[in-house]
Amino acid sequence: MISDNNKIKVGLVSLGCDKNRVDSEKLLSKMSEKYEITSDIMQADVLVINSCAFLTASRKEALDTVFEYAELKKTGKLKKIILAGCLPQKFIDELFDELVEVDAFLGTYDGSLINEAVERTLAGERCNFVGKGEELGCDRILTTPEHYAFLKISDGCSNHCTYCLIPKIRGAFRSRPIDEIVREASLLGEVNELVLVAQDTTRYGEDLYGKPCPVELIRRITALENVGHVRLLYCYPELIDDELINEFKNNAKLVKYVDMPLQHASDRILKLMNRKGSYSSYLELIEKLRREVVGIALRSTFIAGFPSETEEDFDILVDFLKKAKLNNAGFFAYSKEPDTPAYKLKGQLTQSVKNARVKRLYAVQREISRELTARYVGKTLTVVCDGVDYDKQSFFGRTYFYAPDVDGRVYLSGEGLIEQGKTYSVKITASDDYDLYGTIIS
C-alpha cells in the first residue's frame, strides 16, 4: 500500500492454522483502511500477533513471539504490540496483568476493534478488547501466493474430543451462510485453487440448515468462474457420505484429495477420545473412497501416547498405517491440556515414551510414502508452480495429491521461463520419501 511517510506502519505475525491465517488476512484488510501495512517488522510502529492456543507448544510459541518482538520496543522502531486470537480469548484473565509486554488484547471475534486498538495504544492506553467486538466481513489481503487461497467456511467445534481445547476457545460449531461464503470466494480474484477449511468441513451447514450440506456449498463455489479448483480439508470420516463421495467422483473442479483426521485406530483409545469411528470403519471408508474415486489421495493425522495407550494399542495403530497406506500423515505426541476431559485420565505416559512412538510412526509412514511416490517416476503429472526453494535453488510446485504446506513438493527443471502460478506438464524423473523431481515438457 502506498502512503505518505508520516502514516503509521502496522505489521502482523500469524501463528497456528490456516483458519488463523484467514482471520489474519481480514485483520490486515481492516487495518489497511487507516494504516500502512508493512511486511518488514523492523519498519513497523505497531505489531499485531495473531495467536494460537490449541496446545501447550502453541501457547509457548505465542509467548516466545511476544518476548522476541518486545525487544524491538527497546531497540527499534516498534512502539506497541497487540496480541489477538485464541490465546487471549481463552486466557485473558491470566494474561492481562502478567503479560505487560503487550499493549492491547483482542479475542478471536474482536476484529472490528483492531483499528481502535492501534489508535488507543499509540495514545498511551493499555486495553482489553476481548469479547467486546465483532467478526470481520469478507475483505482480505491475501498472504498466500496469488494463485491459491484459503477460505474458512465455519468456526468452532461441537465434537468435544476429550483431548481438544477448540470448543473452549472458539465455541460451538457455527457455519457461515452459503451466500456469504460464495461472495467472499468471488472477491478473491482469479485463484487456481481455493482451499476450504474448518474444524469439521463435512459438518458444514448442520447448524444453519438442519443437516450437513457441504456438497451444495462445493457446487456453488465451483460454479464461480474465478475459481479453478476447490480443495476440501479436515473431513470427519463419519460424515463422508455417498453424496460427497459422488461429488469427488463427478465434479472436475473438486480436487480428489481428502484430509480426514482419524487420530487413532485402536477402538479402545478412539472411545476414550470420544471419536465416532473404529479400526474397521476407517479401513472400510478408505477402501470405499479408493474404489469409488479413482486416484484419490488420502491424508490424516494421529495422536500417539494418549493416556493409557498400551503397546498393544500402539501396535494396532502401526498395523492400521501399514494397511491403510495413506499418501501422507502427520503425527503428534499427546499434549496434556488443562480444561479438557483427557487431562484427568489415568495412565498418563512420559514425554519420552510419547516422543519415541511419534518417531516410530513417522518411520512407518515414511516407508509407505516412499513406496507411493516411487510409483510416479516415469509418469507425467500436472503441476502448478508455487515458487522457489532457495535452499535447493529450484522451482517447486504441487500436483493434486499435495496440499499447501503439509505435504510434499514437486521440484521443477526445464528450459525457458518458469512462472509462479502457472500450470505445467511435468515428466517425473526421481522421487524420495515425500517429494518428486521432474522436467517440464510443456
Q: What is the mean pLDDT of residues 362-385?
A: 97
pLDDT, one tens digit per residue, over 245-268 is 999 999 999 999 999 999 999 999
pLDDT at 94: 95
Q: What is the mean pLDDT of residues 342-347?
A: 96
pLDDT at 76: 75
pLDDT at 345: 96
Q: Which residue has the cell 513406496?
A: 371
pLDDT at 367: 97
Q: Is the pLDDT of residue 75 over 90?
A: no
pLDDT at 417: 85
Q: What is the mean pLDDT of residues 119-126?
A: 96
Q: Is the pLDDT of residue 110 over 50?
A: yes
Q: What is the mean pLDDT of residues 280-309?
A: 98
Give the whole-angstrom CA distance, residue 280 versus residue 361.
20
> Which residues in the chain are classed under CATH 2.40.50.140?
380-440
Q: Is the pLDDT of residue 378 over 80?
A: yes
pLDDT, one tens digit per residue, over 88-98 is 999 999 999 99
Q: Is the pLDDT of residue 308 over 80?
A: yes
What b/e readout covers 54-85, taking b as 16+ CB neighbours within 10 angstroms? Answer: bbeebbebbbebbeebbebeeeeebebbbbbb
What are the two backbone dihedrals, phi and then psi, of residue 185, each rounded to the nearest 5 degrees? -60, -40
Q: Which residue has the cell 502512503?
A: 3
Q: Is the pLDDT of residue 3 over 70?
A: no
Return the ∠ at Cα 105 (arms to 104 and 111), rounded to 5°: 110
Q: Is the pLDDT of residue 6 over 70?
A: no
Averaged confidence pLDDT in the chain = 95
- Banded pLDDT at 2 (limits 50, 70, 90): very low
What architecture (CATH level 2) is domain 9-128?
3-Layer(aba) Sandwich (3.40)
What architecture (CATH level 2) is domain 148-374?
Alpha-Beta Horseshoe (3.80)
pLDDT, one tens digit per residue, over 408-423 is 999 999 888 899 999 9
By the 8 A CB rule, do 96 and 105 touch? yes
With a CB cutoff of 8 Å and minimum separation 6, the contacts of 80 are: 45, 46, 47, 73, 103, 104, 118, 121, 122
Tell the burial category of 344 from Cβ atoms under 10 Å away from its Cβ (0-12, 13-18, 19+): exposed
What percent of the chain is predicted at pLDDT more than 90? 95
Q: Is the pLDDT of residue 191 over 80?
A: yes
Q: Is the pLDDT of residue 1 over 60?
A: no
Q: Is the pLDDT of residue 315 over 90?
A: yes
Q: Is the pLDDT of residue 281 over 90?
A: yes
Q: Is the pLDDT of residue 4 over 70?
A: no
> Which residues in the chain are classed under CATH 3.80.30.20?
148-374
Nearest to 306 by CA among 268, 339, 276: 268
> Which residues in the chain are classed under CATH 3.40.50.12160?
9-128
Q: Is the pLDDT of residue 5 over 70?
A: no
Question: Does the domain formed by 380-440 have CATH 3.90.245.10?
Answer: no
